[in-house]
Amino acid sequence: MSLIQAILIGFVYYITGSAAFTFPFYTLMRPLMGGFVVGLIMGDPVNGALVGARINLIFLGFIGAGGAYPGDMSLSGQLGTAIALTMIKAGTSLEDATTAALALAGPLAIIGNVPGTFLMTFNSVFINMARQMIDKGQEDRLSLPFFWLPMGMKVITAWIPCALAAYFGGTAVQAVFASVPGWVLAGFGVVAGLLPAVGIAVTLTHIFKGEARPFLFVGFLISAYTAFPTMGVAILAVICALVYVSLKYANAKA
């Protein structure tokens, strides 16, 4: 990976970690989309999307309460994909590189929360600065403590670390995977296979409730016993949801 590519990947992570950049925050934050963009930067968008999609399965049940998140899925998706693509370019198979990315996804998500927590804590200093500006009648300068200084701190805590990890991480992980015994890699493969199942299971705990239960079985039967494509099942699910909600609210009004 070139230094320019690492800097661009760090920038993508930087803009997806703040609601100040609305569109990237709500789209590229997802590992599937983030992996695709990382793939574009590294010249392999197809494998980038494939790796990102596998990582995305872990975070299907991802829910953030207020400002608290169970993990940094943006870092997992983008940095994990970058490391996997670096390994692929070095000769590792797609499956083995994806296994490595999945094995790293959990630790990366936890590590990503550390600088985020520090940033939110440190940024409280800027609130006092803004209060002093208001007391002095300097409202025209409030963009400094409310935007420029916090985003500058995010460059230090997000952009630069992610760029460095992308630049050096792939080679390091490649070296580790090349030196460990085969049975250890097999263990990584088992764990990597379980993690997406956990994400799907968490999602099912939200879906399999009350009146939604029959729809889960209908969708499963259509997918398992017909040649209906996945996109067709998804479109059919949207139509069923719209009809169901319309009928439910119509009965409620009546």
Residues 136 and 254 in one domain: no
Same domain? For 225 and 138 the reply is no
The per-residue pLDDT for range 28-80, each reduced to its tens digit, is 889 999 999 999 999 999 999 999 999 998 887 666 655 556 678 899 899 99
DSSP for the chain, please give it: --HHHHHHHHHHHHHHT-TTSHHHHHTTTSHHHHHHHHHHHTT-HHHHHHHHHHHHHHTTT---BTTB-SS-HHHHHHHHHHHHHHHHHTT--HHHHHHHHHHHHHHHHHHHHHHHHHHHHHTHHHHHHHHHHHHTT-GGGTHIIIIIHHHHHHIIIIIHHHHHHHHHHHHHHHHHHHHS-HHHHHHHHHHHHHHHHHHHHHHHHHHSSGGGHHHHHHHHHHHHHS---HHHHHHHHHHHHHHHHHHHHHHHH-
Residue 177: per-residue pLDDT? 67
- Considering the domain architecture, whether residues 28 and 104 belong to the same structural domain is answered as yes
Same domain, 165 and 121: yes
Domain tally for the chain?
Answer: 2
Q: Express as a percent the part of the chain with pLDDT over 70.
A: 86
> What integer pLDDT is reported at residue 51 of this predicted model?
94
Residues 128 and 230 in one domain: no
Residue 222 and residue 135 share a domain = no
pLDDT at 200: 72
Q: What is the extent of the structural domain holding 242? A: 210-254
Per-residue pLDDT averaged across 210-233, rounded? Answer: 85
Percent of the chain topping pLDDT 90 = 27
pLDDT in tens, 160-218: 999 998 998 877 776 766 676 767 767 766 666 666 677 677 777 777 777 778 888 88
Say yes or no: 232 and 133 in one domain: no
Same domain, 243 and 128: no
Instruction: Indicate whether 106 pLDDT > 60.
Output: yes
Co-location of 184 and 214 in the same domain: no
Higher pLDDT, 17 or 79: 79
Please say if the pLDDT value at position 18 is more than 80.
no
Across the range 140-149, mean pLDDT stands at 89
Confidence of residue 109 (pLDDT cuts 50, 70, 90): confident
Question: For residue 12, what pLDDT band results from cuts at 50, 70 and 90?
Answer: very high
Arithmetic mean of pLDDT, 210-232: 84
Same domain, 171 and 228: no
Of 191, 207, 223, the position where a domain reaches its end is 207
| Same domain as 235, residue 146 | no
Q: pTM higher than 0.85 for the full model?
A: no
Q: What does the pLDDT read at residue 64?
A: 60
Q: Do residues 174 and 248 share a domain?
A: no
